[in-house]
Structure 1
Amino acid sequence: MAASARSSRSRKASTVALPAWHGLWDRLPERHRHLICLLLLLALSLAFFAPIHFGGKRLIGSDTVNWRAMAQSVIAYRDSTGTEPLWATNAFAGMPAYMISYPAKVPQVDSLLNWLRGFLWPTSHFFFLLAGTYWLVVYLTRRQWAGMLAAVAYGLTTYIPIILKAGHNSKFIALCFAPWLVLAFVHGLRRPRLLSGLLFAVVLAANLRAGHVQITYYVAFLLGLWWLVEGVAAWREGRPAVFGQATGWLALGSMLALLMIAQPYWPVYEYKQYTIRGGSEATGGGDGLDWDYAMGWSQAPGELVTLLIADAYGGGSPTYWGPKPFTEGPHYVGGIVLWLALLALWRRRGRTAWILGAGTLLMILFSLGSYFPLLNRFMFEHFPLFDAFRVPETWLSTAALVLALLAALGGGWLLEQQPERSRTLRPAYQVWLGLVGLVLVLWLARGSLFSFERPGEVEQIARQVAAANNVAPDDPRLLQAVRQYVAEQRTVRSNLFGRDAQRTLVFLLLAGGLLWLYDRQRLPGWGLMAGLTLLVTIDLWGVGRRHLNEEVLTDAREATDLIPTYSFDRFLLERQREAGGPGHFRVLSLESGNPMTNARPSYYHESIGGYHGAKLRLFQDYIDHLFVDPATGLPRSRALDLLSVRYVVVPAGASLPGMRVVFEDERWRVLENPSALPRAFLVGRYEVVPDLTAHRQRLLDPALDLRQTVLLREDPGIEVTPIDSTSTASVRLVRFGPREIVWEVATDAPRLLVVDEVYYPAGWHATVDGQPAPILQANYLLRAVPVPAGTHTVVMRFDPASHVWGVRIAALATLLAYGGVLLLLGLGWYRQRRKG
C-alpha cells in the first residue's frame, strides 16, 4: 500500500508542469548561448584583475624583476641597434641570451596576444585560457555550462594566481595555450584531414613559443596517452585505417610545428647541450639533470590534501610547514571539482573519462617525485626528456586542467539523468557523502593525522638563532624558546587547516543543496550547472585572492622601476666610462647573500653573478669548484682574477685579502682587486691539460702565473715565444658588443691571445686579419686565439648558423601552415556558397 502511494506520488510529480524559466536557456539560439558564456568569462577575467585594469596597479612578480635585470644588456643593444644581440654580456661573465630575451622573429597567432599583452595583461592571455577550456569541453560534451564550469575550475585554480604573483609568465602563457592544444589534438583524432593537421601545427607551435617546454611536455604526455588508448580502441573496433590517417595528419602537424619554431628553438636546443640541463662538464652532450636537483620540490604524499583543503599545509611561506624548501601556496582545485571529477570516473562509460582519469593519476604520481622513486626513477632514467625538467610538483598544474575536464564530464552526467525517476542521482549523492565524510574526518582528526611541524624544524631554527646570537645551538634556554615558538606555530597551522576544512565543507554542502533542488525538479539542469559554476568561482576566487591581492600589486609602471640603484652603482659606472666603456673589467657584488642568485647587479654592470635556471655547465663548474675557498667560505682571489673582476662590492666594514677600499658609504664598500687579469692579453707559454679535474687543480696552483702561461684542453700545434722585458706585445680593445669584439694586437713573435670571455663554441668565430682562426678552450672556461708576429686585427663574431637558418626555416614553415589553413578554409567557404 505504501509502495503504491509512493509510485502514485512519483507519477503525479512527473506530470507537474515545470515553470517556463526552466527551459529559458535551451530556447536561446546556440550562438547566443556561446556569446553569453564568452562574455561572462571575459567579465570574470576583468573583474578578477580589476585592480590592474581599473585601479592603476601593476602585476610585476619578483622573477619578472630578476629577468628584467638579467635582460638589460640584451634589451639595450636591441633597442639601440635594431639587431638581435643573441649574447648577454652582463650575466655570469657572458652567456647566450636565448633563454633570457630572445623573441620569435616570425609572426604567428601568439604575436596578436603578445601585442594585447602590452595594455591588457594578464587578461590578454587569461581570457584566452578560459575560452580555450570552454571550447574544448563544448567540443567534448556539447554543453555550454559544462564548458563554463571547466573554464572557471582550471582558470582560477590556485596555481594560476600564484605563478602570476611570482612572475612565472612564460609558464602561465604555456598553461593558457594548453586547452587549445588538447582541443586541436582531439579534433585531429576525430576529423582526420589535412586542415586538422595544419591547425594542430599552428596551436602546437604557439604553445611552444610561450617558452616553457616543461608545460608543453606535460600536456604532450596526456596527448600521448590519449593517442595510445584511441589506437587500441580503433584496432579492436576494426577501424585502424581511420586512426592511421588521423595519426598521419597529426604527425605531419607535429613536424610542421617543429619547423615553425626552428627559431627560437634550434638555438635553444643547441644551447641546452652546453648547460646544466643537458650538457656534461666538457663541452656538450650529457645525461640531463642530476636526480637530486631535478627532484627538488617534489610533492609530499600528505600534501596532496591541499587539492581539497587549501591551507592544510599552512598555505604559502612563512606558515607553510611541508618538506619543500619554501612555497608560495597550494595546488588547490576545491571540493566541488573533485566531487564531479570522481563522479565522472565512476559513472561515465566513455573512453574520454578513463583517459583523463589515467592521466590525472599518472600526473599526481609524477608530482610525488622522489617520494615515489619506483615510478619516477624509472621514468627519469629511461623515458625521453623526463630528466630535463625539475620541480615535479609542476605536474599538478596540468593535472588541474585534467581534473577540470573530468568535472565537466561529471556535470554532464548529472544533466543526462532524469530526476523525476527514482534513484537516478543516487551515485552523485554517494560520492558527495563520501567526500563530505572525508573532509569531516580530516577536520576533526587533524591533530592525530598531521604534525603541523616541518621536518627538523626545531633544530633548523635553533641553528639559525644560535648563529645570529653567537650561542651554542644546543643551549637549553635557546631550545626551550624555540620549542615554544614551534608549538605556537603548530596551533596557528592547525587553525588554518580547520578554517579551510570548514570552508570546503560549506561549499560541498551548498553544492549538495543544488543537487537536491535539481533532483526535486525545483532547479533546471542549466540552473544546476550555473549554480555549481558560481560556487566554484566563489571558492577558487577566494583562495586565489589570498595570493594575488593588493599587497603583491605595485604602483610601478615597469619592472625597471623596482630595480634599486645604489651609490656604488654610480661609482662603478663612472669607472667604466673612464676605462673606455664596456669590455674592460667585471664586477662581483656580494650585496645580498649568494651572488649567483642575484640578478640586480647585471642591470648595471658586467657581472660574474646573475639569476638563471640553465647556466652554462662550464660556468656552473666554475661556481662549484673554483669560485669559493672552502677553508674560508670567501671567493678565491685566483677565481676573481681569472674573470677580470676588478671591483668587488661588500657590506660596510667587510674586506677581502689583498684588496683595497676605493669607495665607501654607510652601507657598502667597493674593493679594488689589483691582480685582476685584463680582458684580453698575450701570453708566450701554454700547457696542455686535457683532463678537466687536473685542469682545475692546475688552475688553482699558486705557482702558475696566468699572465705568462695559459692552460689549454688541446694542443694548438704552434710554437709560441715567451714574453720577457725585451718583448713587445700589446692588445687594444677597439669595439665591444654582444655580436662582435674587435682588438688591435701587436706582437714581435707568435703568441696566444687570451680572451676573458666564456668559451661557447656553438656560434663564436674568430678571424685574424680577416682569415679564420681557431678559438681554443683556455683556462678551463675562457678562450684563446693563436696570433702570428706582427700587427693584426683580431675579431670575434657571434653568428650562430642555428639562428640564421632557424629564422628562414620558421618563416617558410609558417607560410606553409597558415597559408594552407587559409586556403582550405577559403575552399570550404567557396563550396558552401556554391551549394547555397
Structure 2
Amino acid sequence: MKKFQALLPHIAAIIGFVLVSVIYFHPILKGDKIYQSDIAQYTGMAKEQNDFRKETESEPYWTNSAFGGMPTYQLGANYPHNYIKKLDSVLRFLPRPADYLFLYFLGFYILLMVLKIDPLKAFFGALAFGFSTYLIIILGVGHNAKAHAIAYMPMVLAGVFLVFQSRYLLGGILTMIAAALEIQANHFQMTYYLLLLLLIVGGFYTFQFIKEKSYKELGKSVLVFIIAGVLAIGANATNLLATSEYAKFSTRSNSELSYESDGKKKDSDNAMSYEYITEYSYGKAESLNLLAPRIFGGSNHEDLGVDSEMYKYITAQGVPPYEAVNLVKQMPTYWGDQPIVAAPAYIGIIVFFFAVLSFFDEKKKINYILLSGVLFSLFLSWGKNFSIMTNFFIDFIPMYNKFRAVSSIQVLLELCIPVLAVLGFYNYFKMEDEKKWDALWKTGAIVIGVLVLLLFGKSLFDFSGVNDDYYLQSYGPEFMQALKEDRSSLYTSDVFRSIMLVIAVFGILYLYIKKTFKPLVAVVLVGVLMCGDLFFIAKNYVNKESFVNANEMEVPFQPSTADMQILQDTTHYRVFEVAGNMSNARTSYFHKSIGGYHAAKPRRMQQLFDYQIANNNVGVLNMLNVKYIIQSNEQGQQFAMNNAFANGNAWFIEKIKFVNSADEEMKALDSLDTKNEGVISKENSEIYLHSLTTNPISKLTNTEFKKDSLASIKLDLYKPNHLKYTSKNSNEGFAVFSEMYYNNGWTATIDGKESPIYNVNYVLRGLQVPAGKHTIEFKFEPEVVKTGSTIALMSSIGMVLLVIGGLYFENKKNK
C-alpha cells in the first residue's frame, strides 16, 4: 500500500501530461490531423512503398517513385526483429502530434526524478520544457523524427546521471533502453548533438573521478556504458547498417567530382559546402530571443493585427478592411540572419530567471556541467557568425560536416536551461530563509538589468533583415517603412512583456518569503506563470488553425489534368515535373519521378540534375526513360508533354566508352548518344558478385558490340524490388537498363545464373547479355537487412535478460 501511495504523484503527473497533450492539440479528438508540410512530402515519397506493403504484407526496401530509384531505408522501412520500435509505439499511444508532446513531458520528468526533484515542481518543469517554442514549432512543420529524437534526450541523460550516482544497475538499464529508443527515432543529427553533450558530462565526471582517485568507480561506469551502448546499438543494427550503407550513396557523402556544375574547380570534396552547412546560422544578437520571443521579429509570417502600422498602410492603399485583416496575418517580421524562421526559439523568461537563480544556491557541479552545455550549444549555433569554432568543428570533428542547419544544435541549450531552471526552482524553496532574499534580489537585478539594457539598446538596431531587398523591390519603400515600425514595436512590447513576467514571479517569491503565500501556493502560482508564458507563445505558431481534415494529410495531393492524362499510360516509365526542380514529392505520389523530397538525396542523381538536366541535356532525360515532362503554361496550369524519344526500359548499345574518372564520365554525358553508346569509368569495369569478396568475377573489356534491328529487351514484370525482362539478340550484346545503379542488394540473373551489374552512364545499370533469347531478372534482397536483423534479435534478447536480471538484483538489494 505504501508503495502504491508513493507512486500516486507520478501516476497523477503522467495523467496530467496526457491531458495537457490532448488539450493543447484538441482537434485530434474529432479526428483532425495537424498539417505538416514535411509529412505531406514524405507521404508522396513513400506512396509506392506503402502500397506495396498493403498489397503484399512485405517490405520492398526499394522504391522507383523518387529520384529514379532509391532504397527505402530512410523512408520508414520496417525491419524484422525491431522490438525497440514496438516499445516506442507503446509509449506513443496518443494520436500524433500529441504523442510527441507527451514524450517531451515524460522524458524530462524522468530526468528530474533522477535529479531528486519533487513531483509537483518536476511536473511544471516538464511542461515548461515541452512548451519551449522550438519544440512545438517542429511539430507544426512536420520534423517528426527530430521531435522524436529530442524527446528521448532527457531520458538518456537521466540514465547517464544515475550511473554517475553509482546506481549502476538501474542507470545502466535506463541508459540502454533510452539510448535504444533515441537511436530508433532515426534523426542522427539530434543523436549526434546529444553525444556531444554526453562527452561534456562524461568528461566532467571523469575528471572528478581521477581527481579523487576513484578509479574503481570510473571503471564500473565505463563498463556499464559500454554494455548499454553495445546493446542499444545492436537493437537498432538493421537501421544503422542500412543507413551507413546508403549514406555512401547519398548527398551526405563525399563527391567523386572535382569540379562544380559551372565548371569551376571544387575547393573541397565534401558533398555539402560550407555555405550549405552554415546557411542557417543564428545571429549573436538574435540569440536574445531566448529571453523575449519577438525581439527579432518572431517569424516570417507573424500576425500583426489591426493596430499595426502595416494594417494602416494596406488600408490606405484602398484595400478593404476584411482583406487587410487577412493580409497582416502573414507578415515577414523576422529580421535575423537566417533565411527563414517559422518561430523564435523562446525558452521562457521565467525559465531563464530560475536558471540564473540556480547559481546562487550551493555550488553544485551539475550546474557547471549544464552551463558548459548551454555555452557550447550557443556558440556552435552561431555557425558562420562564430567561424573560428564552427570551422574547427567542420574541419576536424568527425561527422560534424555531415549535418546542415547548425542553428539546430540549440536543442542542447533548450534541454540544459530548463534543467537548470527546475534546479533553481526546487532549491530556492529549500534554502535557509536569510539566503532566499539574497538569491532573489540578485537574480531579479541580473535578469531585469539585462532586459532594461535591451530596452535602451533598441537604437543600436535598424530592424533590417537579409530578405528586405526582395520586399523593397516587390512592395516599395512605404511597405518597408511600415514593416520596420512594426518590427520595432514587437521588440519593445516583448521586452516589456518579459519584464512584467519577471516582476510577477519576483513578487510571488517575495510574498512567499514574507509568509503571505504558503509554499504550495507559491509553487503553483510560479509553475502556472512559467508554463503559461510558454504555452501562449507556442499557441501563436501552432494552434487549431494548424489542423485539417484527416483526409488532407492521408491524401495530401490531388491529381491535375496532366497527371490524369499520364496515368492512362500503364507502361513503366518516368516523369519529370519541371516546376518541382528535383525537390518536390508531389510527382512521386502519382508517378515514378526523377525528383523527390529528401534530406539525403541519392548523390549521383542530384549531380546528374545539376550538371546535365538543369542544362537542358535531353539525352539524359531519354536514358532515364522520362516519357512525360510536366510543365506549366502562362496561366499556371499544368500540361504533360510526351517525350517520344525516351529510350525505354532497356536497350542494347553498340559502343562503350571507357573513361578514367567520375569527372570524365560526367563530361562524356554532355554529348553521349545514349541510345547507341554507354560510358563506364574504368574503376567500375571490374565487378564482384554479391557472394564473392576477393577477385573480380568479370572484367569488362569489350568496347564494341553488334546490334541488329531486331534486338530487343521487353519488361515483363514490374515490382519495386523485382524486375523481369525477356531479351532477344542474335549477337552477344551489352544492355543498358533505365534503372538506378546501387551496388548493394541488387542481383541480376540471366536464365537463373547470376551476372555482374555494371555502373553505366554515371547512374544506370548495365549487363553483358549472351546471344539468343534470355530471361533477365533483377532482385533487391539486401544482405544488410538480414545481417542487421540477426544482430537486432540477439541484442534484444540480451536487453530483456539484462532488464530482468537487473530489476531482480535491484529489488533484492532494496529488500
Task: Using structure 2 for the length normalisation, give the TM-score.
Answer: 0.89
Q: Is the 8 A contact 1:192 1:249 kept in 2?
A: no
Once the two structures are TM-superposed, the CA of residue 97 in structure 1 deviates from its matched residue by 1.0
Aligned counterpart in structure 1 of residue 407 of structure 2, from 373, 393, 401? 393
Aligned residues: 757
Q: Distance in 2 between matches of 1:354 and 1:277?
A: 35
1:231, 1:684 → 2: CA distance? 66
Q: Could you give the per-residue CA deviations for residues 660-692 of structure 1, whole angstroms, max 9, x where no partner exists?
A: xxxxxx822211112211121111211101322
Contact 1:298/1:393 (<8 A) preserved: yes
Partner of 1:455: 466
Contact 1:363 1:395 in 2 (8 A): yes
In structure 2, the partner of 1:673 is: 643
* Distance in 1 between residues matched to 2:565 and 2:668, nearest whole Å: 36
Which amino acid is the alignment partner of residue 576 of structure 2? Answer: L
* Aligned counterpart, 2:553: 559
Residues 622-663 of structure 1: CA deviation (Å, up to 9, x unaligned): 12211112xxxxx43223112111111111359xxxxxxxxx
Query: Deviation at 1:399?
Result: 1.3
Correspondence for 2:511: 517
Residues 1:586 and 2:554 aligned together: no
Offset, 1:718 = 4.2
Is the Cα–Cα contact under 8 Å of residues 94 and 758 in structure 1 kept in the other structure? yes
Report what 1:295 is aligned to.
278
Q: CA deviation at 1:489?
A: 0.6
In structure 1, C-alpha distance between the alignment counterparts of 2:564 and 2:429, rounded to whole Å: 67
Q: What is the identity, as a one-letter code, of the residue corresponding to 2:494?
A: D
Alignment of 1:223-238 (within 5 A): 223-238=198-213
Once the two structures are TM-superposed, the CA of residue 268 in structure 1 deviates from its matched residue by: 0.7
Structure 1 counterpart of 2:723, from 741, 755, 763: 741
1:627 corresponds to 2:613: yes
Distance 1:340 1:196, change over 3 A: closer
For 1:172-206, what per-residue CA distance to the aligned partner results, in whole angstroms no more than 9, with x for missing partners?
A: 11111111111111112223535543432221111
Q: 1:551 is aligned with what amino acid?
A: E
Alpha-carbon distance in structure 1 between the residues aligned to 2:593 and 2:279: 27
Mapped contact 1:131–1:151 kept (Cα < 8 A): yes
Shift of 1:321: 1.7
Q: How is 1:250-329 mapped onto 2 (pairs within 5 angstroms)? A: 250-281=225-256, 287=270, 289-317=272-300, 318-329=332-343
CA positional deviation for 1:358: 0.4
Structure 2 partner of 1:612: 598
Question: Which residue of 4, 28, 33 maps to 2:9?
Answer: 33
Shift of 1:403: 0.5
Deviation of 1:297 after TM superposition, in Å, equals: 0.7
CA 1:794–1:109 in structure 2 vs 1: closer, same or farther (change >3 Å)?
Answer: closer
> 1:168 and 2:149 equivalent?
no
User: Could you list the per-position Cα deviations for residues 64-101 of structure 1 after superposition, in whole angstroms to 9, with x for gaps in the alignment?
Assistant: 10000110011111111112111121001111111112
Q: Distance in 2 between matches of 1:40 and 1:527?
A: 19
Aligned-residue offset at 1:758: 1.4
Q: Which whole-Å CA distance do the structure 1 matches of 2:468 and 2:667 have between them?
A: 39
Alignment CA distance shift 1:164-1:773 (3 Å): same
Give distance in 1, aligned partners of 2:169 and 2:446.
Answer: 47
Report the counterpart of residue 438 of structure 1 in structure 2: 450
Amino acid aligned to 2:514: R
- Map of 2:322 onto structure 1: none
Residue 762 (str. 1) matches residue 713 (str. 2): no
Pick the aligned partner of 1:51 from 27, 32, 57: 27
Matching residue of 1:211? 186
Question: Does the aligned pair in 2 maintain the 1:281–1:621 contact within 8 Å?
Answer: no
Whether the 8 Å CA contact 1:727–1:748 is kept in 2: the answer is no
Q: How far 1:29 sits from its partner (Å)?
A: 5.9
Give the AA of the match of 1:529.
V
Match of 1:694 in 2: 664
Q: 1:141 to 1:550 in 2, by over 3 A?
A: same
What residue number does 2:325 align with?
Answer: none
Q: Distance in 2 between matches of 1:455 and 1:824?
A: 56
104 and 492 in structure 1: CA distance in 2 versus 1, 3 angstrom threshold: farther
Which residue does the alignment assign to 2:305?
Answer: none
Amino acid at match of 1:256: L
Q: What secondary structure, in the 3-state scheme, does the structure 1 residue paired with 2:463 have?
A: coil
Aligned AA (1:805): T
How far apart, CA to CA, are the structure 2 residues paired with 1:239 and 1:64? 50
Instruction: State the distance in 2 between where 1:382 and 1:266 align.
Output: 24
Partner residue, 1:13: none
Offset at residue 165 of structure 1 (A): 0.6
Equivalent residues of 2:256, 2:663 under 8 A apart: no
Instruction: Give the greater-gyration-radius structure (CA).
Output: 1
| Contact 2:128–2:531 (8 Å) recurs in 1 | yes
**Contact 1:278/1:286 (8 A) holds in 2:** no
> What is the DSSP-based 3-state SS (H/G/I as helix, E as strand, rest coil) of the residue aligned with 1:646?
strand
Distance 1:520 1:482 in 2: 57
Partner of 2:314: none
| 1:184 match | 159
The 1:803/1:113 distance shift into structure 2, 3 A limit, reads closer
Give the counterpart of 1:601 among 580, 583, 587: 587
Q: Which amino acid aligns with 1:314?
A: G
Deviations 1:213-265 (A, max 9, x none): 11111122111111110111111122121121111111111111111111111
SS of equivalent to 1:757: strand
One of 403, 418, 425 as aligned partner of 2:437 = 425
User: Is the 8 Å Cα contact of residues 361 and 428 (structure 2) preserved in structure 1?
Assistant: no
Q: Deviations over 1:87-120 (max 9, x none)?
A: 1210011111111121343343542442575752
Tell me, in whole angstroms, the C-alpha distance in 2 between the residues paired with 1:413 and 1:825: 31
Assess if the C-alpha contact under 8 Å between 2:26 and 2:544 holds in 1.
no
Q: Which amino acid aligns with 1:415?
A: F
Cα pair 1:556 1:562 within 8 Å, conserved: no
The amino acid of 2:480's aligned partner reads V
Stretch moving more, 559-568 or 770-779:
559-568
CA distance in 1, matches of 2:134, 2:754: 52
Q: Distance in 1 between matches of 2:253 and 2:344?
A: 30
* CA positional deviation for 1:523: 2.3
- Displacement, 1:397? 2.0
1:548 aligns with 2:542: yes
Amino acid at match of 2:429: L
Cross-structure match for 2:769: 787
Q: Residues 41-74 of structure 1, C-alpha deviation per residue, up to 9 Å, x if partnerless? A: 3332222122323x44311301110000110011
**Which amino acid in the other structure matches residue 518 of structure 1?**
Y
Contact 1:141 1:412 in 2 (8 A): no
- Please give the alpha-carbon distance, in whole angstroms, between the structure 2 residues aligned to 1:649 and 1:415: 66
Q: Does 1:652 align with 2:628?
A: no
2:649–2:714 CA contact under 8 A, matched in 1: no
**Mapped partners of 1:766, 1:124: distance in 2:** 44
* Distance in structure 1 (CA, Å) of the matches to 2:241 and 2:648: 34
Q: Please state whether the residue corresponding to 2:33 is helix, strand or coil.
A: coil
Q: TM-score, normalised by structure 1?
A: 0.87
CA distance in 1, matches of 2:504, 2:39: 39
Structure 2 segments unaligned to the other structure (5+ residues): 259-267, 301-331, 686-698
Please state whether the residue corresponding to 2:346 is helix, strand or coil.
coil
What secondary structure, in the 3-state scheme, does the structure 2 residue paired with 1:671 have?
Answer: strand
Other-structure match for 2:786: 804
CA–CA distance in structure 2, aligned partners of residues 379 and 162 of structure 1: 27
In 2 relative to 1, CA 104–402 (structure 1 residues): closer, same or farther, beyond 3 Å?
Answer: farther
Change (3 A) 1:348 1:642: farther
Distance 1:153 1:783, change over 3 A: same
Aligned-residue CA RMSD (Å): 2.3
**Distance between the aligned counterparts of 2:759 and 2:659, measured in 1?**
11
Read off the aligned partner of 2:19 and give its amino acid letter. Answer: A
Helix, strand or coil for the counterpart of 1:434? helix
